[in-house]
């Protein structure tokens, strides 16, 4: 018992020393915003073919797709948009008129569709036009390009499509077929990140100065930004389902982070 009592002060002393050596830190949040003009235009069109037999529905769809792509490419050539791309999503069978089932059967690159199981089969596809460099165009030029594409696409725009969006993997609803987005979201957000870091350090220094402490280097950083923020801005180009908006004007990009800074005692003069 005496040995244990004698050893106890030594253990407490070591614990106190270890605690005294623990680094002192402060954790703060910083938020930054930046405004940037989207540089990519994305216009989505919807085409479909219906028939009693699946093979006939596919044939009608392919005929529509061929004509639609040709019309859109002629507009792009006329407007001098050589870097633009016209891509279709392949084939989808969103259900039949009689069956009404929403089970999705995907057929890619000319694969064989399933046999028709109801009175009418519908084969659908989406065509996405991607035009880079629109941030360097005048508003009138962008408006003329969008108008020409929509006029050529006619009723084939995807605004009212309620079938499966093959590019997004989600069921579609009424939405605008026109979106503006960013080809490099990280570059567009760079100023926002700079501002977030600056604000985090300024907040840490403000608090530390009131306690007679000095802020050192960062020991831990955590990104608190919306996990979908980058996707929302870049996803229209990458093939996802959301984009920042239907306007070609500047968009506001926000980021937020949590930073843990090391603290030291201020030098006394």
Residues near 91 by beta carbon (within 8 Å), at least 6 away in sequence: 58, 61, 106, 107, 108, 111, 113, 123, 124, 125
Query: What is the tens place of the pLDDT at every residue in 39-59?
Result: 999 999 999 999 999 999 999
pLDDT at 113 over 80: no
- Closest by Cα among 123, 128, 193 to 157: 128
Contact between residue 197 and residue 261 where contact means Cβ atoms under 8 Å apart: no
pLDDT at 204 over 80: yes
Percent of the chain with pLDDT over 90: 57
pLDDT of residue 120: 85
pTM of the model: 0.67
DSSP for 209-264, please give it.
HTTTEEEEEEEEEEE-S-TTHHHHHHHHHHT-S--SBS--S-EEEEEEEEEEEEEE
pLDDT of residue 156: 65
φ/ψ region of 112 (left if φ > 0, alpha if ψ in -120 to 50, else beta) reads beta
Residues near 77 by beta carbon (within 8 Å), at least 6 away in sequence: none
pLDDT of residue 22: 59
pLDDT of residue 164: 40
The band of 268, judged by pLDDT with boundaries at 50, 70 and 90, is low
Q: How far apart are CA 121 and CA 117, in angstroms?
A: 8
Token digits for 161? 């499509």
Question: How large is the average pLDDT for residues 1-24?
Answer: 50
Mean pLDDT of the chain: 78
pLDDT at 247 over 80: no
Q: How far apart are CA 20 and CA 1, in angstroms?
A: 29
pLDDT at 88 over 70: yes
Contact between residue 89 and residue 125 where contact means Cβ atoms under 8 Å apart: yes
Q: How far apart are CA 40 and CA 183, in angstroms?
A: 6
Contact between residue 122 and residue 162 where contact means Cβ atoms under 8 Å apart: no
pLDDT of residue 61: 94
Which residue in the block uniquely carries the two structure tokens 């259900």?
95
Most confident of 14-28, 168-182, 207-221: 207-221
pLDDT at 79 over 60: yes
pLDDT at 192 over 80: yes
Contact between residue 182 and residue 35 where contact means Cβ atoms under 8 Å apart: no
Contact between residue 187 and residue 135 where contact means Cβ atoms under 8 Å apart: no
Contact between residue 130 and residue 42 where contact means Cβ atoms under 8 Å apart: yes
pLDDT of residue 158: 54
228 versus 72: which is more confidently predicted?
72
The band of 15, judged by pLDDT with boundaries at 50, 70 and 90, is very low
19 versus 164: which is more confidently predicted?
19
pLDDT at 211 over 90: yes
């Amino acid at each position: 018992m005496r040995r244990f009592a004698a050893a106890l002060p030594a253990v407490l002393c070591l614990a106190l020393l270890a605690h005294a050596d623990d680094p002192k830190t402060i954790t703060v949040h910083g938020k930054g915003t930046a405004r940037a003009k989207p540089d990519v235009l994305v216009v989505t069109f919807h085409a479909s073919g219906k028939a009693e037999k699946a093979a006939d529905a596919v044939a009608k769809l392919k005929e529509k797709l061929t004509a639609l792509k040709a019309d859109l490419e002629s507009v792009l050539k006329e407007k001098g948009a050589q870097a633009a791309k016209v891509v279709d999503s392949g084939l989808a069978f969103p259900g039949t008129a009689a069956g009404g089932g929403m089970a999705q059967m995907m057929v890619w690159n000319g694969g064989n569709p399933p046999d028709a199981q109801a009175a009418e089969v519908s084969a659908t596809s989406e065509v996405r036009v991607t035009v880079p460099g629109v941030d360097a165009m005048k508003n009138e030029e962008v408006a003329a390009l969008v108008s020409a594409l929509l006029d050529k696409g006619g009723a084939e725009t995807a605004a009212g499509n309620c079938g499966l969006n093959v590019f997004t993997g989600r069921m579609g609803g009424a939405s605008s077929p026109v979106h503006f987005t960013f080809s490099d979201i990280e570059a567009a957000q760079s100023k926002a990140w700079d501002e977030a870091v600056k604000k985090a350090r300024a907040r840490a220094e403000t608090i530390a100065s009131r306690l007679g402490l000095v802020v050192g280097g960062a020991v831990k950083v955590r990104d608190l930004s919306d996990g979908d923020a980058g996707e929302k801005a870049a996803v229209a180009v990458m093939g996802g389902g959301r984009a920042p908006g239907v306007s070609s004007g500047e968009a506001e990009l926000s980021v937020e982070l949590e930073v843990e800074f090391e603290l030291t005692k201020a030098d006394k003069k």
